[in-house]
């Protein structure tokens, strides 16, 4: 019965008849641009993006998140949003402080600019992929993979020094890994669900359709497998193991 439902589900989903709709990944990312002017002053701009659609911005004066759409909060509660925002704010503050505190050691010359983009991608039939990319003066500098910071070849010796320092803070790396591998995919799915009416009107039907499929089909398969295992287990039990009728 389960497998009979899958073709029906495919037929009902918007965009399910488009092969491209199942190939293109859907992503959510936060972009932060730091402009360092001297040893004690920097300015930053922040934004959040669902694919190519901006969903969030940051008030640089108060460092608070601005939700650009009624559905930009996704399905997260206010408490969870506050906690996630606090974690990201703490990370970005320490990130900027590291460049200030080690400017001489890393041979940095003011002014300079650092860009950081982090988030996650979902592709049909595959696990979510978290990512963080750091650029220095517009060139590749660092990346975050498998709970570790890796220097880019373009970053030279300075990228190696920065990655070595960042890798000392294992607690921060573990929090960042959790945000990328767990929090971000859940938030992305919540955005797609909360904003599906708007996204479909704007022509994003295929993306909403396949991501719904990517979540629903595994749940159906697990439910069917659990039912089958339970039925087999029951049939294989001796009669004495069944509860009496009276």
How far apart, in whole angstroms, are the C-alpha atoms of residue 10 and residue 8? 5
How far apart, in whole angstroms, are the C-alpha atoms of residue 30 and residue 145? 17
How far apart, in whole angstroms, are the C-alpha atoms of residue 187 and residue 153? 32
**H/E element holding 149?**
strand 148-151
CA distance readout (Å), 1 to 172, 219, 245: 47, 14, 29
Q: Which residues contact 104 (CB under 8 A, 6 or more apart)?
A: none
Res 9: pLDDT: 34
Residue boundaries of the structural domains of the chain: 2-19+205-236, 26-196
139-182 residue pLDDT tens: 999 999 989 999 999 999 999 999 999 999 999 999 999 999 99
Res 127: pLDDT: 87
Res 124: pLDDT: 77
Q: Are residues 205 and 15 in contact, defined by beta-carbon separation less than 8 angstroms?
A: yes
Q: Are residues 120 and 185 in contact, defined by beta-carbon separation less than 8 angstroms?
A: yes
How far apart, in whole angstroms, are the C-alpha atoms of residue 117 and residue 141? 12
Q: Which residues contact 12 (CB under 8 A, 6 or more apart)?
A: none
How far apart, in whole angstroms, are the C-alpha atoms of residue 97 and residue 10? 50
The CATH architecture of the domain made up of 26-196 is 2-Layer Sandwich (3.30)
The tokens 């669902």 sit on which residue?
50
Q: What are the 10-residue block averages of pLDDT along the chain, 246 residues in total?
A: 35 42 79 95 95 92 90 97 94 95 95 98 88 97 96 96 96 95 96 92 58 48 45 44 30
């Amino acid at each position: 019965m389960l497998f009979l439902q899958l073709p029906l589900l495919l037929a009902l989903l918007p965009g399910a008849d488009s092969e491209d709709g199942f190939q293109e990944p859907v992503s959510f990312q936060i972009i932060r641009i730091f402009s360092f002017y001297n040893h004690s002053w920097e300015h930053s701009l922040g934004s959040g993006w669902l694919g190519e659609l901006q969903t969030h911005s940051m008030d640089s004066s108060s460092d608070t998140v601005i939700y650009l759409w009624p559905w930009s909060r996704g399905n997260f509660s206010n408490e969870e949003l506050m906690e996630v925002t606090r974690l990201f704010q703490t990370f970005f503050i320490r990130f900027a402080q590291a460049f200030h505190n080690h400017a001489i050691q890393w041979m940095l010359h003011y002014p300079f600019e650092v860009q950081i983009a982090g988030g996650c991608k979902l592709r049909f039939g595959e696990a979510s992929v978290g990512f963080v990319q750091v650029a220095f003066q517009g060139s590749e500098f660092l990346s975050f993979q498998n709970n570790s910071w890796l220097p880019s070849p373009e970053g030279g010796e300075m990228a190696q020094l920065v990655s070595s320092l960042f890798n000392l803070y294992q607690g921060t790396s573990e929090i960042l890994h959790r945000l990328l591998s767990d929090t971000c995919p859940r938030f992305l799915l919540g955005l797609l669900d909360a904003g599906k009416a708007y996204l479909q009107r704007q022509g994003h039907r295929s993306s909403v359709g396949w991501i719904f499929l990517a979540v629903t089909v595994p749940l159906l398969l697990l439910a069917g497998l659990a039912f089958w295992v339970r039925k087999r287990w029951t049939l294989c039990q001796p009669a004495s193991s069944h509860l009496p009728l009276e």
